[in-house]
Structure 1
Amino acid sequence: MKVLIVESQNDLAHIWKRHLERLGMQVVSACGQADAIRHLSKYGTDVIIMDLVLEEGSALAVADYASYRQPDAKVIFVTNTSFFSDGSIFSHSTNACAFVQSATPPDDLAAMVEHYGATPPQSGAA
C-alpha cells in the first residue's frame, strides 16, 4: 500500500512513517502543499494522511488536487485544532474518509490506513 503523509511537523511525520513502514507500507512524506502536489502529479497513492493546518499551503487544496489527479486516494485528516470539529470537513473534501486528532496513537492511525487503503473485493460473476 502506498501512503503519502503531508505534515509540517517533521518529528510527527517521521513517527507515523516509521510505524507504517514497519507494517510493510510504502510511505513518502511531504512538508507542505508544493511537495504534496509535486508527489501526487508523478506518483500514485492509496491513502493520504494530512494535517489540516499546514505551515506551507492549504490542506484543502492538496485534497482537491488529489481528488482530481487520483480520485481513488482516500484522505485521513489529522489536526490538533478545533477546526471542522463539527464534521463539516466531509462536505468540503469529497475524498475525506476520517478526521482524527494529531495525538491519535500510531497503531490506531495505521489501522485506519489499512482499512481505507484496502482494495475492495471484486464482485460480479465472471
Structure 2
Amino acid sequence: MKALVVQDDPNVQSLWAQSLKAAGHETCVADTETAALDALKSTGFDLVLLDLCLNGQNALGVATLATYRNPRCKVVVVTGSAVYSQRKLFAMSPAVAAALRKPVDIESILAVCERVGRRERSTPPPVVAHSAVEFRP
C-alpha cells in the first residue's frame, strides 16, 4: 500500500512514517497542507494518514483532493480537536474511512490503517443497476 503521512510534528511524523514502513508500506511524508496537496497532485496514494490540524489550520482539503485524484484512496483522520464529531468528519469528505481521537497509540493507528487498506484491496461489491440508479448493495 502506498501511504502519505501528513503531520506537522516532526517526531510524530517520523513515528507514523517509520511504523508504516516497518509494516511493509511505501510511505511519503508532508508537514503542511500545501506539501500534502503537491504530493497528491504528483503521486497516487492508497491511503492518507492525516493530522486534521496542521499549523493551527483545518487540513480537510487534503482528504478532498485525495479522493479527487484517486477515488479509491482512503483517509484516516487523527485529531485532538473536539470541534468535529466523527459523523461530521465522515460527512465532510467521502474519502474519510476512519477518524481517531488523540491521544491515540501507534498500534491503534496501524491497526486502523491495515483494516482500511485491506478493505481497499478487497474486491468491491458489484454495482447493481436499476433504471437510472446505480448503487452498491
Which AA in structure 1 matches 2:22? R
How far does residue 103 in structure 1 lie from its aligned partner after superposition? 2.4
Where has structure 1 moved over 4 Å in runs of 4 or more? Answer: none
Does 1:22 find its partner at 2:46?
Answer: no
Distance 1:79 1:123, change over 3 A: closer
Distance 1:102 1:29, change over 3 A: farther
Q: What SS does structure 2 have at the residue aligned with 1:48?
A: strand
How far does residue 85 in structure 1 lie from its aligned partner after superposition? 2.6
Structure label with greater radius of gyration? 2
How far does residue 122 in structure 1 lie from its aligned partner after superposition? 6.8
Q: Please provide the CA RMSD for this pair.
A: 1.8
How far does residue 94 in structure 1 lie from its aligned partner after superposition? 1.1
CA contact (8 A) 1:7 1:51 kept: yes
Distance 1:80 1:95, change over 3 A: same
Distance 1:61 1:10, change over 3 A: same
From the two aligned structures, give the one with the greater strand fraction: 2
After TM superposition, the score normalised by the length of structure 2 is 0.82
Could you say which residue in structure 2 is the equivalent of 1:53? Answer: 53
How far does residue 10 in structure 1 lie from its aligned partner after superposition? 1.1
Which AA in structure 2 matches 1:65? L
CA contact (8 A) 2:76 2:96 kept: yes
Which AA in structure 2 matches 1:121? T
Could you say which residue in structure 1 is the equivalent of 2:107? Answer: 107
Could you say which residue in structure 1 is the equivalent of 2:130? Answer: none
Please give the alpha-carbon distance, in whole angstroms, between the structure 2 residues aligned to 1:89 and 1:40: 20
Long gaps (5+) in structure 2: 127-137
How far does residue 58 in structure 1 lie from its aligned partner after superposition? 4.1
Could you say which residue in structure 1 is the equivalent of 2:73? Answer: 73
Which AA in structure 1 matches 2:23? L
Please give the alpha-carbon distance, in whole angstroms, between the structure 2 residues aligned to 1:30 and 1:101: 20
Which AA in structure 2 matches 1:107? E
Matches within 5 A, 1:5-16: 5-16=5-16
Could you say which residue in structure 1 is the equivalent of 2:4? Answer: 4
How far does residue 121 in structure 1 lie from its aligned partner after superposition? 3.2
How far does residue 65 in structure 1 lie from its aligned partner after superposition? 1.1
How far does residue 104 in structure 1 lie from its aligned partner after superposition? 1.4
Q: How many residues align?
A: 124
